[in-house]
Chains A and B, each alone.
Chain A
Amino acid sequence: MAMPITHYLRTSKMPHIWCAGCGHGMVLGAVLRAIDSLGLDKDQVCVVSGIGCASRAPGYLDFNTLHTTHGRALAFATGIRMVKPGMKVIVLTGDGDAAAIGGNHLIHAARRNIGIATVCFNNSIYGMTSGQYSPMTPTGSYASTAPYGHIEEPFDLCELVYAAGASYVARGTAYHALLLSKLIAKAIATDGFSFVEAITQCPTYYGRRNRMRTAVDMLKWQKEHGVPVASAARMSPEEMVGKFRIGELGTRTRPEYTRRYAAIIEVAEKGEAERDA
């Protein structure tokens, strides 16, 4: 435990592709500190991603890593987890990857309660394709495809995933990095499906268009708008307008999917053995 972070990095694959000031590296740091705090065996960790800036993270990580197609990371991860239920399967995904093209896989993975920990790097925008709106883009903000201001409402992803059946749901930010790392550690340690929304910044395509010129402006925004769940509980709805809760948002105990399937195998194999006897 308490290995240097480079223990988990493929340093030879650096420098990374991310812009200066991008929050994705901060979130990734939190992921690695979480893994380190759990003392996981690198050979038994599998990190799966979709497509996008966030989804480039696995390439820099010294685990079994899989960079898939846009939106489908959870479906690939489901196959891995089914075959290797002993492995820790972690999905790293962007807000577009998870909530738009991959939204269906997200709610179904949660419904099945399959043992996959998902970290969604939510920068409220499609970074990789240079700034189109995502399902997480706030109403009224600007994107290259919302030049007149965005007219859609974003999801509350955590509520969505919890309602779909996840065992553990939490939200953190790149600014609250220590908290984020603790939440991710809890998510990875969860037996069923777990989900952490990590609010992060894309200064290049979101910040500049939305009157937050620098990464520092955006981190300040995270600091000022993220309210710990305990404080939020004491605040009125009016006080919470425009703000969001950070911390653990939902936990429950439900049977994990691959365990349930293992029970099916036991019954079926027994039936077969009896038939052959």
Chain B
Amino acid sequence: MLRKAGARLMQGNEACAEGAIAAGLRFFAGYPITPSTEIAEGLALLLPKVGGRFIQMEDEIASISAIIGASLAGAKSMTATSGPGFSLKQEGIGFAAYTEVPCVIVNVQRVGPSTGVPTAPAQGDVMQARWGTHGDHPIVVLCPSSVAETFTLIIEAFNISERWRIPVIFLMDEVVAHMREKVVVPDVNGIPVVERPRPQVSPDDYLPYAAGEDLVPAMADFGTGYRYHVTGLTHDQTGFPTTKRPEVDALARRLDGKMKKAAPHVTFVDELFADDAEVVVFAYGITGRAAAKAVRDARAQGLKAGLVKAKTLWPFPDEHVRRLAQRVRAIVVPEMNMGQMVREVERAAAGMAKVVGLSRVDADPITPDEILARLREV
């Protein structure tokens, strides 16, 4: 399936496309937009080689809609876009979250709002990724900081989405998407691939939205004898619309409960010198790379610095940050936005450590020196 196991030089967007196929992606619908377009181009070429299907739709709303339909028909599905397109997809993302249709939405962040600087990186969509669609809803947001991590993390994105029937937002940025780095592609057999829970009961006994202990209902593919109904209206266990207050309440709480059950299994954080650090950087995406350099430089200068690099932004690694805040003096949060995750860090730290933001919004990535300077100040 995969090109070849072994070390290869890949672009971030290419790693995203190849990793997705390794995870079992068989349907992609998208609309071209910088800096995500290479994902669509790569998949137009690759998908039919593995018997999968690619389509360029008429817009981003059509694309998110098509991947939800494809997923209901049984295929692992993905779309890819950037800011303006991500905004358009929000209604569809809410539909997928509410109807619990697995799918992966890649958003390669660029400077916004509006058309912004299409060719330059930003991290301004962090809150939109969590709360972009209306209403309470479960969502998982993953964020890679290198090309190699893009490959492994996109596989996690599919596995999480299938396992928990939650849409997963894959939040890249223009630098990670366009840089070229070494990726060691594992042997196909070495890649863990998860399938959605499918019904074990006969069609007559199938309740499409009745869940067991993990709060994840089993999902039948359309066309396999389970004739059931899917609607974005509030629905009961049978999948049909309801406005009965206890049932409306039950669905909202089950989805929230499902997210909480999933949280420990989907929250990934990397650490560097965090054990004995007095000051730490909390970073994500390409900024996490600059932060790693800054922390190493700080150590070389005798400053006890550490790094917490979040690969999962949502659910926010609350526990992790809370424990960290108990033992460090300060947490520095560099972001290519005016301060979005810094408030989450502040909330989780709950006053136990000083939390200091560092914003860069001039369309260039944050440098290690900028982070180092802030580390020395706090």
Chain A residues engaging chain B, CB cutoff 8 angstroms: 10, 13, 42-44, 46, 48, 58-59, 62-69, 72, 75-84, 86-87, 104-105, 108, 261, 264-265, 267-269, 271-272
Contacts and interface: CB of A to CB of B under 8 A. Distances in A.
Nearest to B241: A59
A75 B73 contact: no
30 contacts: A43-B224, A58-B229, A62-B227, A63-B227, A64-B222, A64-B226, A64-B227, A65-B228, A68-B65, A68-B68, A69-B232, A75-B63, A76-B66, A76-B69, A77-B69, A78-B55, A78-B66, A79-B65, A79-B66, A79-B70, A80-B69, A80-B222, A82-B27, A83-B69, A83-B75, A84-B74, A105-B62, A261-B53, A265-B48, A265-B53
Contact of A64 (B26, B68, B223): B223
Nearest to A64: B222
Contact of B92 (A42, A72, A78, A271): A72
A274 B64 CA distance: 34
A83 B27 contact: yes
B230 A80 contact: no
Interface in B34-74: 48-51, 53, 55, 57-59, 61-63, 65-74
A79 B49 contact: no
Given A42-B227, A84-B222, A265-B51, A13 B240 contact: yes
Contacts, number: 136
B91 A79 contact: no
Main SS of chain B's interface residues? mixed
B225 A43 contact: yes
A108 B92 CA distance: 19
Contacts of B10: none
Nearest to B66: A79
> Which of B29, B48, B224: most chain A CB closer than 10 A?
B48
B171 to A, nearest CB: 23
B81 to A, nearest CB: 15
Contact of B67 (A44, A79, A105): A79
A72 B62 contact: yes
Contact of B65 (A58, A76, A82, A268): A76
Interface in B284-301: none
Given A83-B26, A268-B48, 4 more contacts: A83-B75, A108-B57, A261-B53, A269-B50
A253 B373 CA distance: 69
> Which of B48, B65, B227: most chain A CB closer than 10 A?
B65
Nearest to B1: A272
B69 A48 contact: yes
A77 to B, nearest CB: 6
A-B pairs, top 10 by smallest CB distance, nearest first, are A79-B69, A75-B65, A79-B70, A268-B48, A79-B66, A83-B73, A76-B69, A75-B62, A67-B231, A64-B222
Contact of A82 (B50, B55, B95): B55
A65 B231 CA distance: 9
Contacts of A75: 57, 61-63, 65-66, 69
A108 B62 contact: yes
> Which of B55, B59, B77: most chain A CB closer than 10 A?
B55
Contact of A269 (B51, B57, B67, B70): B51
B203 to A, nearest CB: 9
Interface residues of B, number: 44
Contacts of B61: 72, 75
A49 B288 CA distance: 44
Main SS of chain A's interface residues? helix
> Which of A58, A78, A79, A264: most chain B CB closer than 10 A?
A79
A69 B227 contact: no
Contacts of B227: 42-43, 62-65
A108 B58 contact: yes
B233 interface: yes
B68 A59 contact: no
Contacts of B59: 104
B223 A87 contact: yes
A178 B68 CA distance: 35
Interface string B217-250: 0000011111111111100000011000000000
Contacts of B29: 78-79
> Which of A43, A63, A64, A65: most chain B CB closer than 10 A?
A64
A105 B57 CA distance: 9
A267 B65 CA distance: 28
B352 to A, nearest CB: 44
Contacts of A272: 49-50
A66 B223 contact: no
A272 B231 CA distance: 39
A10 B228 CA distance: 10
A69 B51 CA distance: 29
